[in-house]
Amino acid sequence: MLLSNSLVPAVVLLNKLPPIMMMKNLHPFVESFPLIMTTRGGGAAAAVAAFDMSLESQNVGVLSSYGVVTALIMNSALRLYTSNKLTYKKDKGNNNNLNNTISILFSFFISLCIMSGAFTAVAFQLLSIYSRTSLGHNNIVGYQNFRQATAKYRIFGFHSFLVSLVSFVISFLLSYTEEIKKYHKDNTIIGRVLLYSSVLLALLGVHHIHAITKLATQFV
């Protein structure tokens, strides 16, 4: 109402001008009108006006992809856990002590993989569900507040995802030591070559994954 009253003298003055002159004098006010409305409407109106629904929907889809990849890792980890041949033996001896150590480490890392993977999958699915619910209800302000408040959970979920991935690789290498024992009977170096090459490939993969995440932190 205050804005309308302030425009009355301007409208009366513009009515006395020729049409061409009136358009020239009206043009600057038309350009500044959205800025006036944004200022009077507050920060919420500005945030809603600058909101890109398609872009935010794509960001929510990225959250779901973490859950899908983590579910695949967990499935592989559970199959590895049920099919491994590592056993804990009470008899003392150098070989038994080494086998027992490998068995304990395998149990630790496979459980770490499954638990961290379960948290990652559930956390990212919840974030995705609630974000899509806000977007579906056109609750833009609520979605932006929820996204800002849950930033720490996205960071922790990403770290949990990396823990699950690394733990799975270590668990696989530990279980692989039992698989290559069949080559020891022939006194060949095939078993050691397979084990060392697998460890080397795992370290190489970890190195490149770390490089990718570092580049993403720098440029994305």
Nearest partner of 173 among 112, 110, 120, judged by Cα = 110
**What's the whole-model pTM score?**
0.71
**pLDDT (0 to 100) of residue 49:** 55
Residues of the chain with pLDDT under 70: 1-50, 91-95, 184-188
Structure tokens at 133: 């619910």
Angstrom distance (rounded) from CA 164 to CA 109: 9
For the stretch 196-219, what's the b/e string if a residue is b when 16 or more beta carbons lie within 10 angstroms of its beta carbon? eebeeeeeeeeeeeeeeeeeeeee
**pLDDT (0 to 100) of residue 46:** 53
Q: Do residues 167 and 112 touch, judged by C-beta distance below 8 A?
A: yes
Nearest partner of 158 among 113, 206, 117, judged by Cα = 117
Query: Which amino acid appears at position 181 of this protein?
Result: K
Nearest partner of 113 among 182, 51, 175, 65, judged by Cα = 175
**pLDDT (0 to 100) of residue 172:** 93
**pLDDT (0 to 100) of residue 8:** 42
**pLDDT (0 to 100) of residue 73:** 94
Query: Which amino acid appears at position 28 of this protein?
Result: P
**pLDDT (0 to 100) of residue 24:** 42
Q: Do residues 63 and 127 touch, judged by C-beta distance below 8 A?
A: yes
Q: Residue 14: left if φ>0, alpha if ψ -120 to 50, beta else—which one?
A: alpha
